[in-house]
Amino acid sequence: MERIVIPTSQGYLGIAWTRSGLAVLNLPIDDQKKAAIKLEEVIEKLKIKTVYQVFQIISPDSLEAELRDYFKGKNRSLKFPVDWGYYSDFQRRVLLRVGEIPWGQCVSYGQIARDIDMPSSSRGVGGAVGSNRVHLITPCHRVVSGNGGLGGFGSGPEWKTHLLALEGHDIGRSFLSI
């Protein structure tokens, strides 16, 4: 697995990829060493031992440039291949649907459950969203509670509100257009 820690205006991002695509895209951390440690912790949990040269699939320079533009509000659609091999079928279905949520829009956990034809699995959707390791590519911050509230976020509510504000949401109002 290839890995890199890159600086952005928001902090240092840890990124790792395999022959199939991105496996990890952590949210920024203000300290480069902490970002590298966090990245290695996620890689260790995935138990990946093989390292691939995959610059034909993902150019670190283009990924870095696109992420920098994203945090400046210039790039609204990060499209890179994802290695879905580290997710269950259910997680993959949920996260593929999450990846379809456009910039500036939010969808509830319940709506995702209905969209994948499992209307009673809102909590399971929450768990699948929480398993996301390719933040921003699969924009889990755009999934909110059914009542229009913020909902959960593994990197903390500060990051979720920051990303939603970056996308133009009025923090303090409902995130859903009801």
Domain ranges of the chain: 2-71, 87-166
Q: Which amino acid is at 63?
A: L
> Over its length of 178 residues, how does the chain's per-residue pLDDT go in tens digits?
677 888 888 899 898 888 788 889 999 999 999 999 999 998 888 776 554 444 445 566 777 788 888 888 887 778 888 999 989 999 999 999 999 999 889 999 999 999 999 999 999 999 999 999 999 899 999 999 988 888 889 888 999 999 999 888 877 666 665 4
Per-residue pLDDT, 56? 47
What integer pLDDT is reported at residue 79 of this predicted model?
A: 82
Residues 80, 54 contacting (CB under 8 angstroms) = no
DSSP of 72-113 = TT--------B-GGGS-HHHHHHHHHHTTSPTT--EEHHHHH
Q: Is 140 labeled as catalytic in the residue annotation?
A: yes
Quickly tell me which residue has 């995130």 as its tokens. 175
Residue in 169, 125, 178 with CA at minimum distance from that of residue 150:
169
Per-residue burial over 82-114, b = 16 or more CB atoms within 10 Å of its CB, e = otherwise? bbbebbeebbbbbbebbbebeeeebbbbbbbbb
At residue 72, the pLDDT reads 84
Tokens 């911050």 belong to 141
Q: Fill in the DSSP letter of residue 138.
A: S
To the question of pTM greater than 0.75 for the whole model, the response is yes
Class of domain 87-166 (CATH, top level): mainly alpha
Q: Residue 110: name the closest of 145, 140, 138 by CA.
A: 145
Of 4, 16, 15, 18, the C-alpha closest to 85 is: 18
Q: Closest Cα to residue 54, out of 4, 91, 124?
A: 4
Written as six digits, the tokens of 66 are 């696109």
Active-site residue, selected from the candidate residues 43, 58, 140, 164: 140
